[in-house]
C-alpha cells in the first residue's frame, strides 16, 4: 500500500514537472513568434517589468542589507574562533553573496512577492471563464499572459540581484569598518581581489534561471487550479512552495555545473 501510494505520488510529481517544463518551452516559443512577427507586447511587458521589478526594490534593499551585515558578524566570529584572525572576512562574505546568497535569497523573496500574485491572477481568470473568453477571441493565454510576466520576472530577478549585491557589499563594508577596523579601501581591495568576473557571470546566470522559474510555475498552478475561490488560494500557496523548491534544486545543479567546469 505504501509503495503504491509513493509510486502514484512520484508519477504525479514527474508529470507535473514535465507539464511545467513544456509550459516553459511554449513560453519561449511564443516570445520568439512575437519577435519574428513584430507583434511584441511591449506595453504589457514594460508594465510587468515595473510591477515585478521596480516595486520590489525596497524589500530587496532592506532584506539584503541585513543579510550583508549578518554575514560579516557570523564570519568574523567564526574566523576569530578557528583561525584567530579575520582578515579574510570581506573576501568570504563577498564570494558567498555573489555565488550563492545574492541570487538565491533575492529570487526566493521575489517568489514570495510575485509568485502567489501571478498564480492567483490567472486562477481567478480561469474560474471566471476569462481564459475561455480569450480562447474564443483567438488569443493564446500563454502569448497574452505568460510571456510578458516571464520577461518581466527575468528582468526583475537579474536587476534586483545586482542591486541587492551592491547593497549587501556596501553594508558589509560599513560594518567591517566598525567591527573589524577595516577601512573601506582595504575592504573593497580584498573583495575585488577574490571576486572575479566569472563569479559575477555565474550569479547573473543563476538569477536569470531562477527568475524564469517563478512565472512559469505560478502560471502552471493558475492554469490548473480548481473551480472555486479556495482552489485559487491553494494555487497561490503551491506556486510559492514549488517555485522555492525548484530554485533550491536549480541552485544545486548550477553550482555543481559551474564548479565542474
Provide mean pLDDT across the span 134-148: 85
pLDDT tier for residue 3 given thresholds of 50, 70 and 90:
low
Mean model confidence pLDDT for the chain: 85
pLDDT tier for residue 66 given thresholds of 50, 70 and 90:
confident
pLDDT tier for residue 7 given thresholds of 50, 70 and 90:
low
The tens digit of pLDDT for each residue in 19-35 reads 888 888 888 888 888 88
pLDDT tier for residue 186 given thresholds of 50, 70 and 90:
confident
Residue 84 has pLDDT above 90, yes or no: no
The share of the chain scoring above pLDDT 90, in percent, equals 23
The tens digit of pLDDT for each residue in 198-227 reads 889 999 999 999 999 999 999 999 888 877
pLDDT tier for residue 10 given thresholds of 50, 70 and 90:
low
- Global pTM reads 0.88
Provide mean pLDDT across the span 134-140: 83
- DSSP string for the chain: -HHHHHHHHHHHHHHHHHHHHHHHHHHHHHHHHHHHTT---HHHHHHHHHHHTGGGHHHHHHHHHHHHHHHHHHHHHHHHHHTS--TTHHHHHHHHIIIIIHHHHHHHHHIIIIIHHHHHHHHHHHHTTHHHHHHHTT--HIIIIIHHHHHHHHHHHHHHHHHHHHHHHHHHHHHHHHHT---HHHHHHHHHHH--HHHHHHHHHHHHHHHHHHHHHHHHHHHT--SSHHHHHHHHHHHHHHHHHHHHHHHHHHHHHHHH-
Provide mean pLDDT across the span 178-206: 83
Give CA–CA dist 214/94, Å, rounded. Answer: 26
Amino acid at each position: 500500500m505504501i509503495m503504491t501510494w509513493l509510486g502514484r505520488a512520484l508519477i504525479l510529481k514527474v508529470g507535473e514537472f514535465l507539464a511545467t517544463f513544456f509550459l516553459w518551452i511554449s513560453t519561449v516559443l511564443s516570445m520568439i513568434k512575437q519577435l519574428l512577427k513584430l507583434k511584441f507586447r511591449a506595453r504589457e511587458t514594460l508594465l510587468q517589468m515595473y510591477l515585478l521589478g521596480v516595486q520590489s526594490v525596497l524589500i530587496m534593499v532592506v532584506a539584503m542589507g541585513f543579510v550583508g551585515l549578518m554575514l560579516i558578524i557570523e564570519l568574523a566570529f567564526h574566523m576569530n574562533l578557528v583561525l584567530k584572525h579575520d582578515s579574510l572576512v570581506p573576501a568570504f562574505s563577498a564570494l558567498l553573496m555573489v555565488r550563492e546568497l545574492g541570487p538565491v535569497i533575492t529570487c526566493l523573496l521575489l517568489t514570495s512577492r510575485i509568485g502567489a500574485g501571478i498564480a492567483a491572477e490567472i486562477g481567478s481568470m480561469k474560474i471566471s471563464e476569462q481564459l475561455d473568453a480569450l480562447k474564443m477571441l483567438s488569443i493564446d493565454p500563454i502569448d497574452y499572459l505568460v510571456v510578458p510576466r516571464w520577461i518581466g520576472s527575468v528582468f526583475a530577478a537579474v536587476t534586483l540581484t545586482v542591486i541587492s549585491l551592491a547593497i549587501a557589499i556596501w553594508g558589509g563594508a560599513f560594518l567591517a569598518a566598525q567591527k573589524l577596523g577595516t577601512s573601506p579601501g582595504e575592504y573593497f581591495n580584498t573583495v575585488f581581489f577574490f571576486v572575479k568576473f566569472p563569479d559575477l557571470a555565474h550569479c547573473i546566470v543563476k538569477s536569470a534561471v531562477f527568475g524564469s522559474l517563478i512565472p512559469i510555475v505560478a502560471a502552471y498552478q493558475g492554469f490548473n487550479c480548481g473551480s472555486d475561490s479556495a482552489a485559487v488560494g491553494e494555487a497561490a500557496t503551491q506556486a510559492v512552495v514549488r517555485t522555492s523548491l525548484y530554485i533550491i534544486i536549480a541552485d544545486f545543479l548550477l553550482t555543481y555545473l559551474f564548479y565542474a567546469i
